[in-house]
Structure 1
Amino acid sequence: MLPCVVAAGVLAWYVTRQPASPFEQQQSTSFDPALVSRGEYVARVSDCVACHSLPGKTPFAGGLEMATPLGAIHATNITPDREHGIGTYSLADFDRAVRHGVAPGGRRLYPAMPYPSYVKLSDDDIQALYAFFMKGVQPANEPNLPSGIPWPLNLRWPIALWNGVFAPTATYAAKPGQDALWNRGAYIVQGPGHCGSCHTPRGLAFNEKALDESGAPFLAGALLDGWYAPSLRQDHNTGLGRWSEEQIVQFLKTGRNQHAVVYGSMTEAFNNSTQFMQDDDLAAIARYLKSLPGDPQRDGSPWQYQAVTARSDVPGAHTYATRCASCHGLDGKGQPDWMPPLAGATSALATENASAINITLNGSQRVVTAGMPDAYRMPAFREQLSDQEIADVLSYVRGTWGNHGGAVDAKAVSKLRGHTDPASSSPIILHMR
């Protein structure tokens, strides 16, 4: 009996303990305008708006619905409102929530909040971020929405055990064998940029299979929320193997290059985050990503363009010629840098076909560069084409010009049609000032 009581006591202590914060004894923090401005930049790099804002609503007031294996949850209000937001948080409270996923009172945050990545944020960036949210963000009296996770699955104390197994606890430590540019890129990608949240495959416990370059699955591509986030490693077909550092910078800065145009979840990341990053930081990201080796065994033989003779008797070929070729070309080469090629596109080479189906059904969000909406974007075909027609045209694209992604089944189109909402294509554009 006694061992059970002791074990229960240890468990209770473990799941209710507050993580240590270096700011415990700090009673106040400076809200110097320079620090607030620095915090705004950290918020941009961290893309906080992506989850904590809705189109047409007050920035950072929360409400975004996110699907989880247990049910839907909603992002919270992180404005300095004292009733519904974080207005009563001390710097230590803020630090524990952002870097460890523990809100005041010991309430555990779901790991949809990317604290396994944010834990790598430096103390200086945490202080700047806190200053921005307290003094650079307008309070919003917007109540938080309850989660749709049923009892007892909504009990949060098991998250402490999940954290103990899967969540790191230390800030980023520079690798002594790498230069300053590489380390800055690694810091952004692993920490505030939390690129692995989308681009790293998940385990059975919904954990990222790797959190840095020491693990081969890190940034190797993952299926999430109806999109396939491609590999960011040096995979020739499904990653960045054909991209130069300059092309990576161009993509993050302008939303497009000769290989691709941002779409899916990456559109919001571009609209509100990467285009605002300093050029040195973009160069650092590119340097780091180009250092990550690909996996030829997983990626397959390198893609090579193969010219084809137009044929109307092949399923999907007529639809392509009449619906797609005016932008992407009969030869599949597109019109870079505005209309991307489909020949050699990651979505046409990856085994996962979710992105190809999703963008064909629902179109792409508006790409907004330097405040200017783009003039060309992918239209939605969910009302114009049947499931079979979409499956046929995508099978044609994924099997032509040397593409080898594989055929698409109409049942897969039907399933994604039922799980996606064309209204979700409305862009979130954050104007902080």
Structure 2
Amino acid sequence: MRRWMKITIGVAAGLALLAGAAGGAGLWLADSRMHRKVEVPVRPVAYVDDAQAIERGRYLFSSRGCVDCHGANGAGRTFVDDPSAGLRIKGPNISPGPGSMVARYGPEDWVRSIRHGVAPGGRPLMIMPSEDYNRFTDSDLAALVAYVRSLPPAEGGPAVVELPLPARVLYGFGAIRDAAAKIDHSLPPSQPVPEGVNAQHGAYVANMCLGCHGEHLLGGRIPGAPPDWPPAPRLAPGEGSVMAHYAEPESLIRLFRTGKRADGSAVQVMPFDSLREISDTDMRALHLYLRGLPAPKG
């Protein structure tokens, strides 16, 4: 009996040592990944400042998630705050005011940050869903930048990214990836498509869904999300697709406007502060695209 107790204690101690070593290695790898230099091809997009571009930029800023992280005034917003889990995330100040993180940005820096999730010096931006913005056309990227640069000065500071130890270890081992690691940086910018209720425009709008619902819209756990967040639902055709509940565009529009599913239950996690600002045209085009996706093979 004593011999088995000794073996058990020895095995437990060995596993504890292995777990500690793995955790330490994960943290070291996480620090290395956070401070790695990412080289991306950048072609600057020229500044614009006309009223039409600024208005288009205002629409993109309010409807594509920018306001959720940076706040309506661009000064930065705490959007995840769970002290018990050691988790706090705050977007940086991108207004022209004191503490602005973009005060010295040139045209190429905006492209690098928005499209590629990379800071001017090459460091990956930890909490920047650039996979959703990588396919912006040049005109939309220029419009968004024009609006941000036109914001009234507001006081703020840098981003705050406090992750619990398990999340940092997973990030270190590559189980959680930052946006810069998800993007095909060699892709050229999207070309403009006809804006209207058509599938081509719907596919362009659907790029905003990739960060949570995945590259192929299959759903699943949201990378880096708090542990109590539910998985993102499947949007692509196939078993379990939620689009079966949204046969008509009006039902999807109602979801985005109210935050409630077709059965009336509230959705726990979706950025409805932004989603409710999406235009009917964009919503109908998105619905047409999602409902028209081909069923998976096999």
User: For the superposition of Structure 1 and Structure 2, which TM-score range results when normalised by the shorter chain?
Assistant: 0.5 to 0.7
Output the aligned Cα RMSD: 3.9
Equivalence for 1:117: 132
Equivalence for 2:52: 34
Change (3 A) 1:173 1:102: closer
Equivalence for 2:283: 282
Give structure 1 regions of 4+ aligned residues with deviation exceeding 6 angstroms: 156-159, 161-164, 294-297
User: Counting helix residues as a fraction of each chain, which structure ranks higher?
Assistant: 2
Within the candidate set 70, 79, 84, 2:100 is matched to: 84
In structure 1, what residue type is equivalent to 2:133?
Y
Q: Secondary structure at the match of 1:64?
A: strand
Within the candidate set 127, 132, 138, 2:152 is matched to: 138
Equivalence for 1:198: 212
Counterpart Cα distance in 2 of 1:158 and 1:118: 26
Counterpart Cα distance in 1 of 2:159 and 2:63: 26
> Offset at 1:242?
3.1
Equivalence for 1:265: 269
Q: How many residues align?
A: 247
Change (3 A) 1:185 1:261: farther
Change (3 A) 1:86 1:99: same
Greater radius of gyration (CA): 1
Counterpart Cα distance in 1 of 2:264 and 2:238: 15
In structure 1, what residue type is equivalent to 2:233?
P
Equivalence for 1:48: 66
Counterpart Cα distance in 1 of 2:52 and 2:94: 21
Equivalence for 2:233: 230
> Offset at 1:93?
1.0
> Offset at 1:74?
3.2
Equivalence for 2:182: 166
Counterpart Cα distance in 2 of 1:146 and 1:251: 31
Segments of 5+ residues of structure 2 without an aligned counterpart are 1-35
CA displacement, residues 386-409 of structure 1 (integer Å, 9 cap, x when unaligned): xxxxxxxxxxxxxxxxxxxxxxxx
Is 1:186 the counterpart of 2:203? The answer is yes
Equivalence for 2:40: 19
Q: 1:54-65 to 2 correspondence within 5 Å?
A: 59-65=74-80
Counterpart Cα distance in 1 of 2:41 and 2:173: 19
> Offset at 1:128?
0.2
Check conservation: 2:90, 2:159, Cα contact below 8 A.
yes
Counterpart Cα distance in 2 of 1:233 and 1:150: 32
Q: Secondary structure at the match of 2:114?
A: helix
Counterpart Cα distance in 1 of 2:220 and 2:264: 16
In structure 2, what residue type is equivalent to 1:23?
P
TM-score (structure 2 length as normaliser) = 0.67
Check conservation: 1:16, 1:157, Cα contact below 8 A.
no
Counterpart Cα distance in 1 of 2:128 and 2:255: 26
Counterpart Cα distance in 2 of 1:257 and 1:71: 28
Within the candidate set 236, 250, 254, 2:254 is matched to: 250
Equivalence for 1:99: 115
CA displacement, residues 209-268 of structure 1 (integer Å, 9 cap, x when unaligned): xx24xxxxx3334354323222223356552213213222332245446434543222xx
Q: 1:281-430 to 2 correspondence within 5 Å?
A: 281-292=282-293
> Offset at 1:141?
1.7
Q: Secondary structure at the match of 1:264?
A: coil
Counterpart Cα distance in 2 of 1:49 and 1:164: 21
Change (3 A) 1:31 1:261: farther
Counterpart Cα distance in 2 of 1:149 and 1:276: 30
Among all aligned residue pairs of Structure 1 and Structure 2, give the percentage whose two residues are the same amino acid. 25
Change (3 A) 1:227 1:87: same
Counterpart Cα distance in 1 of 2:99 and 2:48: 23
In structure 2, what residue type is equivalent to 1:233?
A
> Offset at 1:122?
1.0
Change (3 A) 1:142 1:257: closer
CA displacement, residues 308-338 of structure 1 (integer Å, 9 cap, x when unaligned): xxxxxxxxxxxxxxxxxxxxxxxxxxxxxxx
Counterpart Cα distance in 2 of 1:236 and 1:163: 28
Change (3 A) 1:241 1:258: closer
Q: Secondary structure at the match of 1:222?
A: coil
Q: Secondary structure at the match of 1:197?
A: helix
Counterpart Cα distance in 2 of 1:172 and 1:180: 22
Check conservation: 1:46, 1:273, Cα contact below 8 A.
yes
Change (3 A) 1:114 1:164: closer
TM-score (structure 1 length as normaliser) = 0.48
Pick 1 or 2: higher relative contact order, CA cutoff 8 A, min separation 6.
Answer: 2
Counterpart Cα distance in 1 of 2:58 and 2:290: 25
CA displacement, residues 112-171 of structure 1 (integer Å, 9 cap, x when unaligned): 311122111111111000000000x222222225543599x79x9999x97776322225
Counterpart Cα distance in 1 of 2:173 and 2:94: 24
Check conservation: 2:75, 2:157, Cα contact below 8 A.
no
